[in-house]
Amino acid sequence: MLTLKNVYIARDHAPIIAPVSETINAGEVLALMGPSGVGKSSLLAYLSGTLPSGLSGHGEVTLEHLAIQDLPIEKRQLGLLQQSPLLFNHLTVEENLLFAYKSPESRFLRKQAIRSKLEEIGLEGLEHQLPQHLSGGQQARLALLRTLLAKPKALLLDEPFSKLDHSLRAEMRELVLDAIQKTQVPTILVTHDQEDADLMATRVYSLRSI
Ligand SMILES: Nc1ncnc2c1ncn2[C@@H]1O[C@H](COP(=O)(O)OP(=O)(O)OP(=O)(O)O)[C@@H](O)[C@H]1O
């Protein structure tokens, strides 16, 4: 369960959004919508600990009853997926995934697990490729797999499909929904696309400026 209590973003000490108080339960998807520039990405950035200087975030964020808003990024246990996949371009597909997949298992066993996950997601045989040699759709699937291998306790999706064409978009929606159903992670999805909200969201929250 992910809970936001009076969360808002400010610029020069002045709030730019009306405070948000919401609870997202296990397996729920909250679509965060609202006009361009209102502060949707900034709100997600506050939750994930990546807010740029110039803006400040306020309010309490709890994940499974632990307040996380002051924790360093790596301790928050959140999975963030953005428009442009955040992949290490100098590392192979397999190395990108090993980086995220922390487990007490040996490197050999982790590599085996990664091969089978690659197969499940339709990326079999690509483990030694560099991400820049993959198609946009393959990169999106790789970014999703990397996010999931880190076993996040909540997912934050910031317009993750907006650079994909219609059929890839539909495919990615299915994969993400399937992952949310299997892992039951609470999820916030920032989108401008009504179809994303209709097909994926349990609820829609319209962010308001102040
Ligand atoms: N580093 C920064 N310093 C100061 N202001 C910023 C900074 N980054 C973004 N902003 C401002 O914060 C406000 C919210 O921006 P944000 O990108 O969160 O909106 P958004 O709702 O996600 O927009 P869009 O739908 O167009 O992506 C905007 O007015 C933006 O100009």
Summarised one tens digit per residue, pLDDT across range 14-50 is: 999 999 999 999 999 999 999 999 999 999 999 999 9
Q: How far is the CA of 56 from the centre of ligand 1 (A)?
A: 12
Angle in degrees, 0-180, between the axes of helices 136-149 and 93-100, rounded to the nearest 10? 30
- Ligand 1 atom 26 nearest Cα: 36
CATH superfamily of 2-77+152-206: P-loop containing nucleotide triphosphate hydrolases (3.40.50.300)
CA of 11 to the centre of ligand 1 (A): 10
- With b for 16 or more beta-carbon neighbours within 10 A and e for fewer, the 154-181 pattern comes to bbbbbbbbeebeeebbebbbebbeebbe
Band (pLDDT 50/70/90 cuts) for residue 1 is very high
Task: Please write the tens of the pLDDT for every residue from 41-78.
Answer: 999 999 999 999 999 999 999 999 999 999 999 899 99
pLDDT, mean over the chain: 95
Specify the pLDDT at position 163: 87
Give the closest residue (by CA) to ligand 1 atom 3.
54
Domain edges within the chain: 2-77+152-206
Average pLDDT estimate for 186-192: 97
Q: Is residue 85 scored above 90 in pLDDT?
A: no
- Is the distance from CB of 172 to CB of 144 less than 8 angstroms? yes
Atom number of ligand 1 nearest to Cα 44: 18
Tell whether the model's pLDDT for residue 103 goes beyond 90: no
Minimum CA distance residue for ligand 1 atom 30? 37
The answer, yes or no, to whether any atom of ligand 1 lies below 6 A from the CB of 37, is: yes
Q: What is the predicted pLDDT for the residue at 58?
A: 98
- Return the residue whose CA atom lies nearest to atom 25 of ligand 1: 36
Average pLDDT over residues 138-167: 94
Q: Read off φ and ψ for residue 178, nearest 5 degrees.
A: -60, -45
pTM of this structure = 0.94
Predicted pLDDT of residue 86: 81
Which of 17, 43, 55, 161 best tests ligand 1's pocket when mutated (most atoms within 8 Å of CB)?
A: 55
For ligand 1, say whether the CB of 1 is within 6 Å of any of its atoms: no
* End-to-end Cα distance, the chain: 27
Does residue 55 line the site of ligand 1, with CB under 6 A?
A: yes
Ligand 1 pocket check for 191: Cβ under 6 Å? no
Per-residue pLDDT band at 160 (split at 50, 70, 90):
very high
What is the pLDDT at residue 18?
97
Strands (E), the chain: 2-11, 14-15, 20-24, 29-33, 55-63, 66-67, 78-82, 154-158, 187-190, 203-206
Q: Is 38 in the pocket of ligand 1 (CB under 6 A)?
A: yes
